[in-house]
Structure 1
Amino acid sequence: MDSILVTGGGPLSGTIPIAGAKNACLTLMPATLLSDEPLTLTNAPRLSDIRTMTSLLESLGAEVSSLSDGLVIAMSSHALNGARADYDIVRKMRASILVLGPLLARLGEAVVSLPGGCAIGARPVDLHLKALEAMGAELDLRDGYVHAKAPKGGLRGGTFEFPFVSVGATENALMAATLARGTTVLKNAAREPEIVDLGHCLQAMGAQIDGLGTSTITIEGVDRLHGATHRVVTDRIELGSYMVAPLIAGGEVTCAGGRRDLLEAFCQKLEAAGAEITESDAGLTVRRAGERMRAVDVTTEPFPGFPTDLQAQMMAMLCTAEGASHLEEKIFENRFMHAPELIRMGAHVDVRGGSAHVIGTDRLRGAQVMATDLRASFSLILAGLAAEGTTKVGRVYHLDRGYERVVQKLSGVGAQIARVSDDG
C-alpha cells in the first residue's frame, strides 16, 4: 500500500493540466450499452474507477480499448453476452449502477448488484428504480441484486418527478428513456455539467432530448442509437481541487482547460475569501490577494450551488484562514470524516452532525494522517502544502479513484511531494 509524503512551506508557480471529468466519463461509458455501434470517448481521465468500469462493461460482453495513453476509450457493444452485473465488480464503485438503465432499455432485462464505493452515507438507489418504474419496468430486489424487466415491447415513456435532486438517478433515467417508446419527462432533474455532457453524447448518438441544463428534461424515444465520438467535459472537481492549492500554499497557478462556468458558486466563495481568479483561453489562473485567506461560510447544494465534492478541500483551506467559518453539508451524511485528520495537523474543527465550525490558524503541523474517502484524501494533501514539516497521507488508493498523476502535477508547480511504498 502506498502513501503520499508532502513537505509544506513553499509557494507554487506554473500550470497544472486539468483532466477530463471522472464523473462524466463513468456516466458516458455505460452509454455504449445502448447501441450496437462503436462509441469513442476522447479526453478521458486515467483513473482506477475507469478501469473498474472497463472491467464491468467487458464482463457484459462489450469491447473496450484504451488508446493514446489512456486519453481515448474506444468501445463497442455489438455482441453483449448477458445482462448481469456481478457483485465482485459492482461493489467497488457507486457508478456501476449506471449500467442498469441502458441494459434494461436495450435488452429488456437486467440483473445488477447493489453498488459500493466511498463510505460517505447511504446514497440509496431507490430513485433510480422509481424512475425506471415510471417507464413500465418491473423491479425486484433480492439477494443484494436488482432484477429488472421491461414490459412486452420495451420501456415506455412516462413522467417522473424526483422528490429531491439526484445526479445518478437522472443519468440512469435519461439513458433508459432514449430507447423508450413515446415521451419521457423528468422533473426536478439534476442540472450538473456532467449530465449536460451525457445528454450531448446521447444526442450525437441520435437521441432526441430537450431541456438539458434545466430541471425539466424531455426525451422522445427512438428505435435505435448509432455510434459517435464525444469529448469528455473538463473535470470541475479536479479543477476546483487544484484551484485551492495556491490559495493554501501561496503563489500563482494556472489550471489549464479550466472554465469558470463549471464552478461559478465555488469561484464566488473563493473570491469572498480573498482569491483572485482570472479566466483566459489558457484556463483559470488563481492566486491569493493577501498574506492569508479570510473565513467564509459554505453550504453544499446541488448544481449550480457549492459542490459537495469540494467541501473537504475548502475545509482544508479554511483551517488556515483568518477568522471562523461554518460549513454545512446538505448532500451526504458522514462527509466530515476528514476533520479528525485535519485536527491531527493542528486544525481547529468542531463537527456537530451535518455542520462543522472551523477556526483558522496560521500554522498547521505535518503529521501522519489517513485518507477516509476520495475527496478527503486530496484535502489532506492540500493541508500538507501549508503545514510545517512533512505530512504522510495513508490509504491513497482512494486518491487513485478520482485524481490522475497528482504527484507529477503538484511537483510540476513546485510542491515537495512524493509517493512512497509502505512495503519498504
Structure 2
Amino acid sequence: MHGEVTLSGAKNAVTKMVIASMLTSDPCTLRNVPILGDLELTMKMCEGIGAFVQLNREDHTLSIQTQKIDDFHISSTVGGLNRLCVMTVGPLLHRCGEAVMPLPGGDRIGPRPINFHLQGLQQMGAKIVEHAGYYHCSAPEGLHGATISLPFPSVMATENLLITATLARGVTIIENAATEPEIMDLVKLLQKMGAIVDFKVGRRLVIEGVKTLHGASHTLLSDRNEAVSLATAAYLTRGNVYLRHAQQEPLLAFLNTLLKMGLRFEIDDEGIRFIGDSKNPPAISLETDVHPGFMTDWQQPFTILLTQSEGMSVIHETIYEDRFGYTSALVKMGAQIGLYPKCLGEVPCRFREKQFMHSCVVSGPTPLVGTRLDIPDIRAGCSYILAALCAEGTSEVYGIEHIERGYEHLDEKLRQLGARIEKIVAE
C-alpha cells in the first residue's frame, strides 16, 4: 500500500462534544467532524429531545443548537444501541430536572457497566431508579459539586462527570480521572463555552461550576485510532503511507512501540509517514493501559502485525476482560495465537486471579489465508480488514456496519492506498 490519505476527526471526541453542546441554548459549531454511524446515532438522539442539528458532509462541519428541551425521554430505538445515552443525563438534569434513558447497549467486548457514571451522578445529587428497562433520573434541588473517586480511570465516566460538573453548584473533584487526548479536547471545547476546568497532579480533575455556558466553535483533533490502523496496514503490506494530520503527541506510546521493533516512520509538521520494510519485524511484549499507555483500541490491529513478526509476542490486556474474542477468526486464517487467564505483564491489572482470558501469545510469522469473517465490534472489524489485506486469496467480511460506526470511509481510504476492496450492498 502506497500513497497519502487525510485522517478524519476523532470518533471518540465528536459524540461527547455534540452532547456537551446541550449544556447551553446557544448554537455551537464543530469542525473536522468525522461522518460516522455513531455520530448519526448521537444526532438522532439529540434531535429527539429538541436539538436542531445541521451536518455539512462536504466540509465536515456540524452546527447544533438546543434552544429548549422538548422531551427528557431518550428513545430506546436510538439510545439503546450504545452507551452514549448515559452522557445526556447531566445536561437533561440541569435543564429539565429529569431524564429517562434506556439501559444502554454497545460492542460485544465484555461487560461495560455504567455504574461509575450512576454512582458519580448520585453523589452530585441525582436520584436514579431503574424500572422496566429504563433509568428514571431526577434532581429536584439541582446538582451540586462533589468529590468523586473513580475505582478505575474510565474514559466515558470521566467525560460524563466532567460535562455534568460544569453547571453543578460548587466545586467537583474527580479523582483517578482519565486523561486521554479526547478528554483534553473536550475540556478545550468546554472552556471555550465558559467552563472552569483544571487538571491537577495525580489524575485529579477540578471543575468549578458556573451558572451558565454559552456557544462556541471548535476544531476536533485527528483520530488516533484511524492513524494506528492505517499505519499498521502500511507495515503489513510493506508499503509507504503518509497520513496527513496525524499528530505525534496522541500517538507517543504507539510510536515508541514501533521504535522498539525497528519500524520506520518520519514526522513533519503536516503528518507522519509510515515506511514498511522487506524484513519481518521482531516479536515484542506489550501491555494495554490507560493514557498515556498503549491504548486498548490499538491492541487488535497490532495483534495482526504480530502474526507477521519473528518469534513469540505477548499482549497483556488490562482495560477490558474479554477483548480477545476476535482472535478465533485469525486462528482460522492460520495465525498461531493462545489465550491465557494469567497476567503476562507488569502493569497492575484488575483482572488478576479472575480467570478472564486477558493475555495473548502470538507466534510468527504465519502466512494468513483468506476466509469469511464476521465482525463482532469496531476495532476487531478493522483488524479483520487488515488481516484480509495481508492474507493470501480473497476474504469476505460481514457486519461492516460496525466499521462504519467508528471509521469514516475506511474502504475508500484503503482503496486510495492500493487495496482491492469491493463493497457489496445486500438487496
| Structure-2-length-normalised TM-score | 0.93
CA distance in 1 between partners of 2:143 and 2:365 (Å): 57
- 1:375 maps onto 2:417 in alignment: no
| 1:4 alignment partner in structure 2 | none
- 1:313 maps onto 2:301 in alignment: yes
CA distance in 2 between partners of 1:273 and 1:323 (Å): 12
| 1:117 alignment partner in structure 2 | 106
| 2:146 alignment partner in structure 1 | 158
- 2:168 and 2:209 in contact (8 A); partners too: yes
- 1:414 maps onto 2:418 in alignment: yes
| 1:357 alignment partner in structure 2 | 361
| 1:294 alignment partner in structure 2 | 282
CA distance in 2 between partners of 1:147 and 1:324 (Å): 50
SS in 2 for 1:278: strand
CA separation of 1:346/1:212 partners in 2, compared to 1, >3 Å: closer, same or farther? Answer: farther
Range with greater deviation from structure 2 (400-409 or 271-280)? 271-280
CA separation of 1:67/1:212 partners in 2, compared to 1, >3 Å: closer, same or farther? Answer: farther
* Pairwise CA RMSD: 1.5
Counterpart AA for 2:311: G
- 1:148 maps onto 2:137 in alignment: yes
| 2:33 alignment partner in structure 1 | 44
| 2:224 alignment partner in structure 1 | 236
Range with greater deviation from structure 2 (107-116 or 30-39)? 107-116
- 1:27 maps onto 2:23 in alignment: no
Q: Which runs of 5+ in 1 are unaligned?
A: 1-11
Shift of 1:68: 4.4
| 1:366 alignment partner in structure 2 | 370
**For residues 209-236 of structure 1, what are the alpha-carbon distances to aligned partners after superposition, in whole Å with 9 as ceiling and x for unaligned?**
1118961111111111000111111111
**For residues 345-401 of structure 1, what are the alpha-carbon distances to aligned partners after superposition, in whole Å with 9 as ceiling and x for unaligned?**
111111231111111124211112111111011101111121111121111111100
- 1:392 maps onto 2:396 in alignment: yes
**For residues 80-117 of structure 1, what are the alpha-carbon distances to aligned partners after superposition, in whole Å with 9 as ceiling and x for unaligned?**
10211121111212222211122122322211112111
Range with greater deviation from structure 2 (98-107 or 219-228)? 98-107
| 2:188 alignment partner in structure 1 | 200
Q: Which runs of 5+ in 2 are unaligned?
A: 341-356
Shift of 1:419: 1.2
CA separation of 1:212/1:81 partners in 2, compared to 1, >3 Å: closer, same or farther? Answer: farther
CA distance in 1 between partners of 2:161 and 2:366 (Å): 48
- 1:404 maps onto 2:408 in alignment: yes
Write out aligned runs for 1:100-115 (5 A): 100-115=89-104
| 2:251 alignment partner in structure 1 | 263
| Structure-1-length-normalised TM-score | 0.94
Runs of 4+ in 1 over 4 A off after TM superposition: none
SS in 2 for 1:309: helix
Shift of 1:70: 6.4
2:84 to 71, 95, 103: 95
**For residues 137-159 of structure 1, what are the alpha-carbon distances to aligned partners after superposition, in whole Å with 9 as ceiling and x for unaligned?**
2121222222211241x211111
Write out aligned runs for 1:245-264 (5 A): 245-264=233-252
- 1:196 and 1:212 in contact (8 A); partners too: no
**Aligned residue pairs: how many?**
411
SS in 2 for 1:74: strand
| 2:50 alignment partner in structure 1 | 61
Q: Percent identity?
A: 38
| Bigger RCO of structures 1 and 2 (CA < 8 A, at least 6 apart) | 1
Range with greater deviation from structure 2 (112-121 or 140-149)? 140-149
CA separation of 1:364/1:212 partners in 2, compared to 1, >3 Å: closer, same or farther? Answer: farther
**For residues 5-52 of structure 1, what are the alpha-carbon distances to aligned partners after superposition, in whole Å with 9 as ceiling and x for unaligned?**
xxxxxxx11112110001100110101210000011110000111110
Range with greater deviation from structure 2 (91-100 or 215-224)? 91-100
As a proportion of its length, which structure holds more strand? 1
CA distance in 2 between partners of 1:235 and 1:214 (Å): 26
